[in-house]
Amino acid sequence: MKEKKYNFKKIEKKWQDYWEDNNLFIFDNNKKKKKYILDMFPYPSADGLHVGHTESYTATDILARYYRQQGFNVLHPMGWDAFGLPAENFALKTGLHPQDITEKNINNFRKQIKSLGYSYNWNNEVKTTDLQYYKWTQWIFIQLFKKGLAYQDLVPINWCPFCLTGLANEEVVAGKCDRCQTEVEKKDMEQWLLKITDYAERLLSGLDNLDWPEKIKVLQRNWLGKSEGVEIIFRLKDINEELRIFTTRPDTIYGVTYMALAPEHKILEKYQDRINNYQEIKEYIKRAKNKSELERTDLAQEKTGVLIDGLEGFNPVNGEELPIFVADYILDSYGSGVVMAVPAHDQRDWEFAHKFNLPLKQVVNTKGDIKKGALEEEGLALHSGKYTGLKTVEVKKKIVKYLIKKNLAQEKINYKLRDWIFSRQRYWGEPIPVVHCQKCGIVAVPEEDLPVELPKVENYKPTGTGESPLAKIEEWVNTQCPKCQGKAKRETNTMPQWAGSSWYWLRYIDSQNDQKLADQKLLKKYLPVDLYIGGAEHAVLHLLYARFWNMFLYDLKVVPQEEPFLKLFNQGMILAADGKKMSKSRGNVVNPDDLIAQYGADVLRLQLMFMGPLEDEKPWQTKSIKGVVNFLKKVYFLADSIQENRESEENNKLIHKTIKKVTEDIENIRFNTALATLMIFINEVDKDNLNKEVFSKLIILLSPFAPHLAEELWFNLGYQESLVYEEWPSYNKDLIKEEKIKLAIQINGKVRDFIILDLDTKESKKLREKVLNLIKVKKYLAGQEIKKFIYIKNKIISIVV
């Protein structure tokens, strides 16, 4: 073999420049067929691109390149989710300004991304921190405000004492701040909220029509938490007052032995004069306030509560008197904040009753030992008046019907979803575009005055008082009311990190538009996103918020589709070589820059895709890189074997088989097996009879995976135009037909043996004899009489005895 080296450094740079100089990845608005292939845009951290990014970006790049070659107009953009706490925290640590840090990080990210040869259209790059971008984020907020879907309220919120800001429920994981893992506290604060709850039902039902991983759908369904039940009125003793309870088990109403309400419930304050132990209760309320929802509802936590001395209720079906407790396992934010407690059939009530020595009344006949725990299963009613003996479903229906007729109940659907807490007391975010006027109240900044620019200030340290650092900038805060021209103050809270990412895929479509968020015609042309690839960690954050905003914009007739992302695919996490999560502190992080420097972009791309199925979690493998390097070398040197005027039937068959498999694998996002197929080709090809036509097809097949090497070989073959829009090869069905086929032989329904036959073999006496004489078949037949011999051509042989 000739001494020739593949100089990937020179070659890769050459083609990256070529693609960019020739503007090859722009969208062509004139083409009919489109594919919108979207990545979750990165948060440009100071650490730079990690392997996880390169895994999913390589995957989308393969698809983008493939669909271009299939004749699609491919929309494949990239941008930056650049506002948010990490930049600000990093800025505080280093003394640099978040703006400058963000700029620097973005430049680094862009350079890194380009070095992998990804085919993004950089003309449509977006950055959430751009004035011309967040102008529209603010515009969306104002539309929400005008429709009553953005409102201010004094609510208990999750406060992170480290980040010094309030958080959304979605940002609290297991009681801790999702960013810094600090335990969150409860704090009453005036907040901006978005009424995502108005969209709960649509967010739920919309999931049914999405081609998304079931895992993500389940997470969203659980987060939305639809619960169908009834609200039942319980009257109170001696006073003209009632409590409404929410239950999903009205059939257990004869088993109620006490009532319980949330510490936050308003009735406590209202009747403080009647309540003899109000002081004790007040102290209990104070203690409950410091607990997280998680602690309060955790089954394993010991139940606490105080009997309210002075209030009693009546069971509406039998008039029994019921004691009432305050108990923090009841949440104020769910249902009505009051429950009818049935300790015999609800485990939390059972534990509470156990601790406070309250009676159990079993009213459903099911298996289990009531001394050991609640019997939560359905069964036949016991001690339930005229309903005794009926099945749970029946009892439910009848009791609800009876109570509704008496005006004591109403069917009710509850959701676990809460409104989205939308204000942050931090600097590095979009200012919320409203002013507070003493005369007019809250007034939206007029659309023509947008954007409300985030002032560049020296001191953006969080105050920790619940006020945003912007509150200190008097010349910015003090402004005129747009309505009455009187004195007014700007809102100083900023939007959460999730705002900018809740609509960015729309802006890509028309990123330069200064009149509108995006042009209607273009949105119609490109939406919905055909494929969205990203990590599963955003299941109830970004992926829920984005659907909410999209639905809202759909209602405004700004976007043409109700759902933004038709198909979602989650790439599996790449672990460190030791099987553990990559982390700086463990020192096991693999850096894409190093790998590119050592092996080149094509090798890294192939290795990322070859390690296993895209959706699988998998450890990084350094050893197997050698295999990938050798494969690309073999392809490179195979070009030297090409000879004029050679025809090889074997090679023709092989390439057509390869085209079929690689095409199907790409369409189904099975890149590891597509690559394996290409490797098989290289090993099996007849090098002595290789012609240019067969080799050219191979190069096109390889090009989405290893675009630099493919482009280099393509031009070496004498072609004058880039591979980017070279038509994807099709295969000839006749050439890939297998001549032989392996059929299973079933005896009485069980596969006992196999036989290899010529394709399309007809049924014949000879065939029958051949089958019956197989040793294994003979053994299983053991001389029995054959009742049926069924032969289905090219499929199966079935014998019945």
> Contact residues for ligand ANZ (CB under 6 A)?
227, 246-249, 252, 330-331, 334-335, 337, 339-340, 342, 345-346, 414
Residue 484 binding partner per list Zn ion, ligand ANZ, none, with a CB distance cut-off of 5 to 8 Å that depends on partner kind: Zn ion
Q: Which of residues 420-439 bind Zn ion (CB under 5 A)?
A: 437, 439
User: What values do phi and psi take at 422, rounded to 5?
Assistant: -115, 0
Minimal distance, residue 226 CB to ligand ANZ, in Å: 9
Q: Which does 509 bind (CB under 5 to 8 A by kind): ligand ANZ, Zn ion, none?
A: none
- Looking at beta carbons only, is 286 or 487 nearer to Zn ion? 487
> Nearest approach, Cβ of 198 to ligand ANZ (angstroms)?
19
Told to check if 481 binds Zn ion by CB under 5 A, we report: yes
- The minimum distance between CB 383 and ligand ANZ, in angstroms, equals 14
- By DSSP bridging, strand 409-414 and strand 227-235 are antiparallel
The item of Zn ion, ligand ANZ, none sharing an interface with residue 469, based on CB under 5 to 8 Å by kind, is none
Is residue 487 a contact residue for Zn ion (CB under 5 A)? no
Residues 114/144, Cβ–Cβ less than 8 Å: no
| Token digits of residue 558 | 């700004």
Q: Which is nearer to Zn ion, 184 or 481 (CB)?
A: 481
Complex with Zn ion: residue 86 or 433, whichever CB lies closer: 433
Q: Which one of ligand ANZ, Zn ion, none is in contact with 330 (Cβ closer than 5 to 8 A by kind)?
A: ligand ANZ
- Total residues at interface with Zn ion (CB under 5 A): 7
- C-alpha to C-alpha distance for 409 and 242, rounded to whole angstroms: 12
Q: What share of the chain is helix, strand, coil (3-state, %, to 5)?
A: 40, 20, 40
Binder among 484, 751, 792, 800 for Zn ion (CB under 5 A):
484
Q: What's the rounded Cα separation, in Å, for the pair 294 and 786?
A: 68
Q: Which residue's CB is nearer to ligand ANZ, number 303 or number 661? A: 303
Does an H or E element contain 602, and which? helix 601-610
What track of x and - describes contact with Zn ion for positions 436 through 475 (by CB under 5 A)? -x-xx-----------------------------------
CB 431, min distance to Zn ion, A: 18
Please, what is the minimum distance in Å from the beta carbon of residue 481 to Zn ion? 3
Q: Can you read off the two tokens belonging to residue 597?
A: 């420097």
Check: CB of residue 35 under 8 Å from CB of residue 60. no
Q: Which entry of Zn ion, ligand ANZ, none binds 428, CB below 5 to 8 A by partner kind?
A: none
Q: Kindly state the smallest distance separating residue 288's Cβ from ligand ANZ, in Å.
A: 13
Helix (H) or strand (E) holding 142: helix 131-146
Task: Please give the Cα distance from 353 to 258 (Å, whole number).
Answer: 9
> What, of ligand ANZ, Zn ion, none, does residue 342 touch, CB below 5 to 8 Å by kind?
ligand ANZ
Q: How far is the CB of 174 from ligand ANZ (least distance, A)?
A: 19
Smallest gap from residue 441 Cβ to Zn ion (A): 8
Q: Which residue has the tokens 């800001």?
A: 165
DSSP of 545-564:
HHHHHHHHHHHTTSSS-S-S
Q: What is the DSSP letter of 425?
A: S
Is residue 601 part of the contact set for Zn ion (CB under 5 A)? no
Q: What does 770 interact with, of Zn ion, ligand ANZ, none (CB < 5 to 8 A by kind)?
A: none
Q: Which is nearer to ligand ANZ, 335 or 564 (CB)?
A: 335
CB-facing half-sphere around the CA of 40: CA atoms within 13 A: 22
CA distances from 696 to 544, 600, 704, 718 (A): 45, 23, 14, 10
Q: What is the dihedral of CA 140, 143, 145, 148, to 10 degrees?
A: -130
- With beta carbons less than 8 A apart as the criterion, state whether 306 and 325 touch: yes
Q: Please state the closest distance from residue 490 (CB atom) to Zn ion, in A.
A: 13
Candidates 483, 489, 567, 660: give the one binding Zn ion (CB under 5 A): 483
Instruction: Give the one entry of ligand ANZ, Zn ion, none that residue 437 binds, where binding means its C-beta sits below a cut-off of 5 to 8 angstroms depending on kind.
Output: Zn ion
Minimal distance, residue 280 CB to ligand ANZ, in Å: 22
Comparing C-alpha atoms, which of 448, 279, 251 is closest to residue 363? 251
Q: What is the C-alpha to C-alpha distance for residues 206 and 631, in angstroms, rounded to an integer? A: 45
483 binds, among Zn ion, ligand ANZ, none (CB under 5 to 8 A by kind): Zn ion
DSSP character string of 503-539:
SHHHHHHTTT-SSSSS-HHHHHHHPSBSEEEE-GGGT
Task: Please report how close the Cβ of residue 471 comes to Zn ion at its closest, in angstroms.
Answer: 19
- Choose between 288 and 509: whose C-beta lies nearer to ligand ANZ: 288
How far apart (Å, rounded) are the C-alpha atoms in residues 487 and 435? Answer: 10
Choice between 436 and 752, CB closer to Zn ion = 436
Residues that bind Zn ion (CB under 5 A): 437, 439-440, 481, 483-484, 486
